[in-house]
Chains A and B, each alone.
Chain A
Amino acid sequence: MNRRHFLAGSAGALAGLTLPAALATTAPAAATLPRALAGQTGVTTLNGRSLGYRMRDGVKEFHLIAEPVRQEVAPGMVAQFWGYNGGSPGPTIEAVEGDRVRIFVTNRLPEHTTIHWHGLLLPAGMDGVGGLTQPQIKPGETYVYEFTLTRAGTFMYHPHADEMVQMAQGMMGMFIVHPRQKGLRAVDRDYLLMLASYKIDPGTLRPDASEMLDFNLWTFNSRTFPAIQNMVARTGERVRIRVANLTMTNHPIHLHGVHFKVTGTDGGWIPAAAQWPEVTADVAVGQIRVIEFIADAPGDWAFHCHKSHHTMGPMGHGLPNLLGVDQRAATQRIERLFPGQHYMAMGSEGMAEMQDMAAMGDMMPLPANTLPMMTGEGPFGPIEMGGMFTLLKVRDDLAPGDYRDPGWYRHPPGTVAHPATGNDFETLPR
């Protein structure tokens, strides 16, 4: 018996089950509203926030605190990260071209750290490379970085001290410098997300820093679908999405429903003449790609990494290939080996049955503190996704500045794929 057949035969038993709320919808917590700076639309950090500041003697002062952070990756899984100011990634720093910034960095980690301001042009002594441009910031110490933001753009911050470990633990954040000129490169909505990957074995909490490539959590802002906040836009609005990559591999980021252009990198803005239409932008390791488009088609549009393993939850690598394999004879014997437990063959017809894990958790439990391989319920059924996947929801009736989740898209009549009627199609050329 496979899972689908089991469920079909157990409809009565399952009818009383209630899906966990987090799995019944893809809508996570409400967004933190962006704030405008110098007349520019402030950024929306998915599942995150921007860092507050104070003005002192004409200098914008920020305070980053490097510290351990316990944070939910998605319902059912919590991770013990290292981050900044209570989150991984840390809060987004927003400032304006020409600003003088002073950033205090307090180290509450068990080992030293620094912060490198990735992509920002600044004095060498402020570049944050431990041992090379500054002493390491020891536990308990607070250092101050101060420099002038000479160019607008999209940047990152991350440690440059025991970098392999500290980045693997989730220490990263984004640094946005808005143009000083009002209206320049203006958009209606400005989203940002950091791509991060982790190896957190099922049943554990802490990312494994020794892992080089074989990660099992592919995240936007250290969250996986369906816990990643949706992006919303009013039809016709200009939307910007800034995507930074601090994983160990490239990510072809694909957006359905629009043609976009890559308008910027962490090296600056791309002249309009050098931009071309795309639906997928590859973001390499240590890179940022800024995409912009007009949200001209209402609907719920998928936004995801196009490496299909990256839109899955944790799964074993190197599993036996059982597709097309008749497991019935073996299953009869295996069931006898697990009396009182539920064993079911899987993989013979594909892996979509893994979506059913949400409904079968009591009978076929997963290890503690891990996520199903695929999950998410949409208006038409299981979405069968995980990892680096979220939605762009475009609506005609969304008010400017409204970031609330509008719910599922209501398709106009006759615009949804449906089962074919008749068999006339069988005479079509093949």
Chain B
Amino acid sequence: MHSVPHPRPWLAVWLLAAALTPAVAAPTWPPGFAGRTEAAAPAIAAQALTLDAALRRGLVGDATLYPLYRAHDIAPDALGDALARLPEPLVLRRDVLGASTLGASAAFEQRLIDAARQIKLDWLALAQAEHAVAHRRAAAEAGRAARLLAEAQQAAGNLSVLAANATLRDAVEAEEALAEAEIALADAQDALAARLGLPLGAQPSTSGLPALPDRPDWLQPGAIAAWAETHDPALRRAEHAAAQAAGRSAPVTPRPVKLPLLAHPLAGADDAGRLSGLDDDWLEAADAAQASRRAIAGAARHVEQSWLTAQRMQESRRLAAQRSDEALKHYNGMLLGIYELLDAKRDAVQAEHDADDALGRFWGAAFQLEAALGGELPGAWPVTIAPASPSANPHPEHAR
């Protein structure tokens, strides 16, 4: 069992925010939305948002959080000011919630953790959509070039309708893929804009997918689970609740049970299988703790697997780019035709798309794990030696 610290203000920064809220201006709903928080929206929408910037903005701009803020008398403008005092990258558990908070504000904390995860996932979805559009645009450009060549060949009397057909059809399909990607981008922009409290029609953009980090030592399910046992406040909270419940039920003296899930500290060696002595609160708390462990284990597994997948796809991307480069050399020597060169380029673009898709899935899994762990990972992501793609600039928060 973990020791239970004395309940205290659950959010250091909340206090700061409250202090910064002008005393003369009693919080009224929605106090910040009509203030600087809203006024800053156009400027925010105009810049390429880093993940950190999106998180800071989302915490003050996400309207779904306002009922909570109202209940806790938090003004978004004041919160924004408080967040602005925190260094990058913003770590929810450490910087905002406080590493040792437990107990009374659990529901609020969880709500904030879920919100932060959703902000990050929405930002990630937009970054992926931006990459997808860039890839589809390049593929469409290659298709247009091939179509123009084929048409010019036909005009010169060098290519039959039959021989040109496949090239022309490929070009049409590439245009359609681009159109679909652009629709997905608009949807992702809308979703993030809503999450950040940006006005309707805002078209936020991101700084691009972060590169794949080197693999840290802690990226293995066993290590993550061990870390969570001692560091994850959510798990500690569940354990704490179970202990409290066990304390209340102590006079009943629950009997031993077979399931390790219910390895109650007061269980004896007799009366196996009897549950009558366990109160519902204890059962619920113990089950919550075990469910939390399962969620952490699953999220950790997904992160590990998606990291490996992303790494393989990076290699695939490298090889496809190499093929494109070599194809250009062959083209230079008239060893390869222009259509084959364009095919190689399209293949490289598709490999980039697949690699970025895998990279996005990795970061998505990482954000899920972070949320499952209560807002903080066991360690930092190592500095990535080589960026995953030209558009993916590693942000400091992934190299802390």
Stretch touching chain A among B73-81, B89-97, B223-231, B336-344 = B336-344
CA distance A318 to B159 in the complex (A): 13
The answer on a CB contact under 8 Å between B333 and A357 is yes
Shortest beta-carbon distance from A387 to chain B in Å? 14
Shortest beta-carbon distance from B387 to chain A in Å? 15
Contact of B334 among A326, A330, A333, A373 (CB under 8 A): A373
The answer on a CB contact under 8 Å between B330 and A337 is no
The answer on a CB contact under 8 Å between B326 and A367 is yes
The answer on a CB contact under 8 Å between A338 and B332 is no
Q: Which partner residue on chain B sits nearest A216 by CB separation?
A: B335
Q: How many of chain B's residues touch chain A, expressed as a range?
A: 20 to 34
The answer on a CB contact under 8 Å between B158 and A324 is yes
Stretch touching chain A among B38-46, B104-112, B145-153, B373-381 = B145-153
In the complex where A326-B155, A367-B326 touch, is A315 in contact with B334 (Cβ < 8 A)?
yes
The answer on a CB contact under 8 Å between B345 and A372 is no
Q: How many of chain A's residues touch chain B, expressed as a range?
A: 35 or more
Most buried by A among B159, B330, B333: B333
In the complex where A323-B158, A325-B158, A330-B148 touch, is A351 in contact with B334 (Cβ < 8 A)?
yes
The answer on a CB contact under 8 Å between B342 and A334 is yes
Contact of B330 among A323, A326, A357, A367 (CB under 8 A): A367
The answer on a CB contact under 8 Å between A337 and B345 is yes
Query: Could you say which residues of chain B place their CB within 8 Å of the CB of A346?
Result: 334
CA distance A206 to B224 in the complex (A): 52
Most buried by B among A203, A327, A334: A334
Q: Which partner residue on chain A sits nearest B140 by CB separation?
A: A333
Contact of B152 among A314, A316, A327 (CB under 8 A): A327
Contact of B156 among A319, A324, A351, A370 (CB under 8 A): A324
Contact of A316 among B148, B325, B335 (CB under 8 A): B335
Q: Is the interface of A mostly helix, strand, loop or mixed?
A: loop
The answer on a CB contact under 8 Å between B333 and A367 is yes
Shortest beta-carbon distance from A364 to chain B in Å? 4
| Cβ-based interface call for A343 (8 A) | yes
| Cβ-based interface call for A322 (8 A) | yes
The answer on a CB contact under 8 Å between A354 and B148 is no
| Cβ-based interface call for A329 (8 A) | yes
CA distance A78 to B325 in the complex (A): 22
The answer on a CB contact under 8 Å between B158 and A202 is no
In the complex where A319-B337, A321-B153, A322-B158 touch, is A333 in contact with B145 (Cβ < 8 A)?
yes
Q: Which partner residue on chain B sits nearest A353 by CB separation?
A: B334
| B residues neighboring A (CB under 8 Å) | 138, 141-142, 144-146, 148-149, 152-153, 155-159, 325-326, 328-339, 342, 345
Listed A/B pairs (5) with beta-carbon separation below 8 Å: A320-B149, A321-B158, A325-B158, A326-B156, A329-B152
Given contacts A327-B152, A345-B338, 18 further A-B contacts (CB under 8 A): A202-B329, A202-B330, A202-B333, A314-B335, A316-B330, A319-B337, A320-B339, A321-B158, A322-B158, A322-B338, A323-B156, A329-B152, A330-B146, A337-B138, A341-B328, A354-B334, A365-B332, A370-B333
Nearest 3 A/B pairs, CB to CB: A330-B148, A333-B145, A364-B332
